[in-house]
Amino acid sequence: MKKRVFLQSALVLAAATAFGGAQAQALTPIKFQLDWRFEGPAALFLQPVAKGYFKDAKLDVSVDAGNGSGGTVTRVASGSYDMGFADMAALMEFHANNPDAPNKPVAVMMVYNNTPAAVMALKKSGIKTPADLNGKKLGAPVFDAGRRAYPIFAKANNVSNVAWTAMDPPLRETMLVRGDIDAITGFSFTSLLNLEARGVKLDDIVTLSYADYGVKLYGNVIIASPKLLKDNPAAVKAFLLAFTKGAKEVMAKPDDAIQYVKARDGIINTELETRRLKMAIDSVVASPDARAEGFGQANPGRMSLMASQVSDAFATKTRVNADAVWNASFLPTKAELNVLPPAKK
């Protein structure tokens, strides 16, 4: 009798172990790369990982830091990563400059409805409007999204005569504070807080946001490899739905979300990165344009205009095809995308 009970118990244990193994094997691995380091906005991706939302969706998602949108696009194109977070302009440029590339990534969800790119200067420089940039020295890394898109900003505001200085990212704000340059381009929520960390008061900074000066470029999107889209479209849909669930929570309680960034980079300044996350949410994720178009979505006319602007500003080998870079068919339903927090009064 005892032997029979033992055998039955062993069979149950073996069956449970096999089931658990099958469950683990059922998870689809997704390698995901951010556009930049583990800073505040990365919480949008790190929270759903930490809280198990991707695993609930049968996905095994790993998130790595990046070193610029161009690099993220290239790595997804190479197959090193399945999905990523990158600037739409960088994606468009890759498509147009690599028309014969066999694996051109595709944008499947809008996250930064407006580009965070801006020109920033110290008030003491006398720069108050785009017209004041004529004859000034501007600085940014050569791959900076704001610098790359600057010709669009310049054309929209009749600015023609500026001189550029290139530097590594950590030196950008330092050179502005030292007076080596008159203004910089960069993501507003990155450079503003970096300037503050270097002793500059926010009230002493002039910010000329591209979105406020006639440049309605889209910002960062979630991109996916064509291979993944073709071989496992269900995984892409599951990823976007799980991400949306996490993003809703992050936007509702950003103070709680920053712990997941801290878990990936223990040396971050929690207070600073919380502010950065809030600035990103207010300025580009839950912006008025995002509310008008809907979270995750894009306006076809606006996308086509951006494709034309990028083609001209970046002097691409071929014209950008808006239909080739954007695919909204994997998005959750509009009801599921209704996650933006109430507008601030």
pTM, entire model: 0.90
Residue 101 contacts residue 77 (beta carbons within 8 Å): yes
Asked if residue 340 is part of any domain, the answer here is no
Work out the average pLDDT over 243-257.
98
pLDDT at 23 over 70: no
Q: Is position 191 within any domain?
A: yes
The answer to the question of residue 179 being in a domain is yes
Last residue of a domain, one of 171, 195, 212: 212
212, 235, 256 - which closes a domain? 212
> What pLDDT shows up at residue 9?
53
* Per-residue model confidence as pLDDT tens digits over 79-137: 999 999 999 999 999 999 999 999 999 999 999 999 999 999 999 999 999 999 999 99
Give the CATH number, domain containing residue 178.
Answer: 3.40.190.10
Confidence of residue 143 (pLDDT cuts 50, 70, 90): confident
Same domain assignment for residues 83 and 148: no
Instruction: Provide the pLDDT for residue 18.
Output: 47
Residue 263 forms part of a structural domain: yes
Pair 127, 208 in one domain: yes
- Same-domain check for residues 46 and 97: yes
Count of domains for the chain:
2
Structural domain containing residue 62: 27-112+219-325
Q: pLDDT, tens digit, for every residue of 182-210?
A: 999 999 999 999 999 999 999 999 999 99
